[in-house]
């Protein structure tokens, strides 16, 4: 009788330890899930900002925008063009 009572006590102790362990692990998983959710939200916000910046870069680097800014700072359109021909433009050294 004492032997079964001792085994019963050990079994109860092991079950309590397993219950405590399960609570600890569940708590850690919940915290990890919350952190994961926060990180995913930050990723979403950064991706949206990145898309906005890509659009801003596209608008700023368009030829129309560049031409307008060039006019604003005083650049003028040239009407005189100089075209290079296929003629050689360097002399050959004869050493």
Q: What is the pTM of this model?
A: 0.53
- Could you give the CA distance from residue 70 to residue 72 in angstroms, rounded to a whole number? 5
**Quick one: what percent of the chain has pLDDT higher than 90?**
54
**What mean pLDDT, rounded, does the chain reach?**
88
Q: Which residues contact 59 (CB under 8 A, 6 or more apart)?
A: 65
pLDDT in tens, 18-57: 999 999 999 999 999 999 999 999 999 999 999 999 999 9
């Amino acid at each position: 009788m004492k032997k079964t009572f001792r085994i019963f006590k050990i079994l109860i102790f092991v079950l309590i330890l397993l219950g405590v362990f399960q609570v600890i692990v569940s708590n850690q998983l919940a915290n990890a899930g919350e952190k994961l959710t926060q990180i995913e939200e930050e990723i979403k916000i950064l991706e949206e900002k990145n898309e906005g910046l890509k659009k801003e870069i596209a608008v700023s680097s368009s030829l129309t925008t560049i031409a307008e800014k060039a006019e604003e700072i005083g650049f003028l359109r040239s009407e005189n063009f100089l075209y290079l021909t296929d003629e050689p433009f360097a002399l050959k050294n004869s050493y």
